[in-house]
Chain A
Amino acid sequence: MKYKFEGYEIEVRDNELLLNLGPQHPSTHGLCRLVVKLEGEKVKEIIPIIGYLHRGVEKICENRTYLQIIPITDRMDYLSAMNNNFAYVTAVEELLGVKVPERAEYLRVIAAELNRIASHLLFIATFGMDIGSFSAFMYGFRDREMILDLLEEMSGARMLYSYMRIGGVKRDVKKEFFDRCIKVLDKLEERLKDYERFFLENELFINRTKGIGILKPEDAIKLGVTGPNLRASGVKYDIRRVDPYSVYESIDFEVITDSGCDSYARFMVRFKEIKESIKIVRQAIKQIPEGDIMARVPKVIRPPEGEVYSRVESPRGELGVYIYSDGKSDKPYRIKFRVPSFANLSAFPHFNKGLLLADLIVSFASIDIVLGDIDR
């Protein structure tokens, strides 16, 4: 029998089953729809269908001034809004040729790394839930809450921060903030030991994730996979090191890689990255100088004609922003976001055929996509 949907045509034989996972399904992480062809429980074909969260962000941006675009970037990858802000403002600054004060750069790095910790904690939480432990979900959310409190203190918002401005950041933090920050990080490090006991010393967890969804390094590079997913395939590629931006050059941290290539490795890389991010925040707090938090930027931002592509390492991978300015308008002529989740999801069907349905869910959870990021 032949099925036609969304421009796909798929042949299903008598012993096969076409199963529609989503868009309303407990483990599709937002509104992704996976159409899978099953033989028994074995997955033979996967077709991801996206677009349920499409808002036309790039087109909206063409009708907004450069400053008005910042809140829109928040709403793309809503779990790492700081990193979206970061990518966008660095791109505009490059276009304008603005030099950002060092204190602002450090504040940005602190914010971005805290946001990365929060995002990875959420990953751990949802990953645990997809494997069948609701407890893990609650623990992950509890610890994310501490980080969110810090970010709230910095920016005034818990999720959609709009903290960064072209030329600096919205506001400075109080002196006591850094003490509180260190206290939270100490606590988090304690909690991470609990996670190690809960996840990594759990035979069932290892059994569920080891060898599931193997993404070979050469395939990962070919398919454009970036971020922790790529590093879990053993490729040492991190924008913070490969193409350093902001003050990452003066900060000492390790690029975590894992040669496992499977779901377990992807979990491990994120788990260890939390520790690295804690290290980065600690260093940034130590090194942060006094001074201004905003560069001198004209009130109406009207960049000269030209184009720019700037990228940052978001918790999900390489987040690039392309802007073309026609030089006359205070609105960008064209803006394009290169989002990591999209590339990661496109690669997903290529390395998961032949898994069982339950394992497919684990592998799907392990690539950690955000649909707001994909559909834009």
Chain B
Amino acid sequence: MTLMEILILIILPVLILIFLSLDVLFLTWLERKVIARIQLRYGPNRTGPFGILQPLADALKLIQKEDIIPRDADRTIFNLAPIVSFVAAALPFMFVPFSEYFQLALIDNAIIFLLATSALSAIGILLAAWGSNSKYPLLGGMRAIAQVLSYEIPLVLAILSVIILVGSFSLIDIVKYQEENIWLIFLQPLGFLIFFISGLAEASRVPFDLPESESELVAGFHTEYSGMKFALLLFAEYIHLILISMLMTLLYLGGWDIPGLYYLESVAKSIGYTLGLSEKLSIGLLHFLILIIKVHIVIFLILWITRGTLFRIRVYSLPVLSWKGLIPLAMLNVIITSILAGGLG
């Protein structure tokens, strides 16, 4: 391996991490702004134009804060939890293709590794809940684990139907299939719905924000955290939201595919040529841009539809919805897809 290759190996993950961090900052601003508009408020509007610098100010504030560790907390676990959460949230991005030519770890069954690493986030929550040695975090942690366990299954089953249909474990292949045929949301409407609901639950968004429902559990497993550790936990949560939206885009909404992609690609190629970029790089950047815009549209819809208008779901009906509703439906979806795919193939 040359020095150049090693440098690239180091630089690329750092670039992705920087992108994720910046996007999280942007998302906190977007969320506050969108929700404020729905709720007849203005949202942040003091720092910078439209308050866009507010997340930076918040981050600075959190960095300055005293790092408080409760007396009775289990210090090792308490300190470990935010790091584990953050790493577990960021790790799946190794297996996410950002364009047709760029995926950090290019392996055949990327999607399995992606799901496996994203499931690690439950451990981070459990560590935070247990390490705090406090009552509200414990209750929040218990709920979070129940939720993750219940909703991982329909999520995976929904993805399974996609895999059966496309016949590949690679996300790049799945997007290519959609480029050649039709977006999978039209072939898998039920699967998309299941994925959407369980994805919301995975990312603990309203109406599934039970682990941190402020009206009963104050802040759930965050309660005892302050300063940078709190920021890391919050980052992990938003990165999870980005991951879910990105998966939704890649699996069902065509990834970087839009009508007229071919012309855009040729435009990108010619622009790249004049700038002296290679063909792959210019097309890759175009794909990345389209993907990011789509992901943010999805996130905006999630904020708008759920956070603005819905109530929190009942604790009791949370597992019931999954085990009695989503899992049988997802299994049905798998069976139907298998029969149809067999018939077509």
Contact = CB atoms under 8 A, between A and B. Distances in A.
B29 to A, nearest CB: 17
A375 interface: no
Contact of A132 (B39, B207, B316): B207
Interface residues on B, range: 20 to 34
A160 B311 CA distance: 32
A356 B313 CA distance: 13
A27 interface: yes
B214 A26 contact: yes
A134 B35 contact: yes
Interface string B302-333: 00000011111111110000000000000000
B39 A138 contact: yes
A331 B308 CA distance: 53
A132 B215 contact: yes
B140 to A, nearest CB: 11
A302 B216 CA distance: 50
Interface in A5-49: 17, 19-20, 25-27, 38, 40-41
B215 A128 contact: no
Interface string B28-48: 000000010011110000000
B39 A135 contact: yes
Contact of A19 (B135, B207, B317): B135
B311 A205 contact: yes
Contacts of B139: 19, 38, 41, 357
A353 to B, nearest CB: 16
Interface in A176-200: 198
Interface residues of A, number: 34
A135 B216 contact: no
Given A26-B215, A134-B35, A361-B215, A207 B317 contact: yes
A59 interface: no
A207 B213 CA distance: 17
Nearest to B213: A132
Contact of B216 (A128, A133, A357): A357
Contact of A358 (B135, B136, B206, B216): B216
Contacts of A262: none
A20 B139 CA distance: 13
Given A138-B39, A358-B216, A361-B216, A202 B311 contact: yes
A208 B311 contact: yes
B218 interface: yes
B209 interface: yes
Contacts of B310: 132-133, 202, 204
A373 interface: no
A134 B39 contact: yes
Interface in A275-322: none
A142 interface: yes
B300 to A, nearest CB: 16
A52 interface: no
Contact of B135 (A17, A40, A135, A360): A17
A133 B311 contact: yes
A345 to B, nearest CB: 18
Contacts of A204: 207, 310-313
Interface string B4-38: 00000000000000000000000000000001001
A148 interface: no
Contacts of B308: 135
Contacts of B315: 41, 356-359
A131 B135 contact: no
Contacts of B138: 17
Contacts of B40: 138-139, 142
A15 B214 CA distance: 25
B210 interface: yes
Closest 7 CB pairs of A and B: A132-B312, A138-B39, A27-B215, A131-B311, A204-B311, A358-B315, A361-B216
22 contacts: A25-B218, A26-B218, A27-B216, A40-B142, A129-B215, A130-B215, A131-B215, A131-B311, A132-B207, A132-B311, A132-B312, A133-B311, A135-B38, A135-B39, A138-B39, A204-B207, A204-B311, A207-B314, A207-B317, A356-B316, A358-B216, A361-B215
Interface of B: 35, 38-41, 135-136, 138-139, 142-143, 206-207, 209-210, 213-218, 308-317
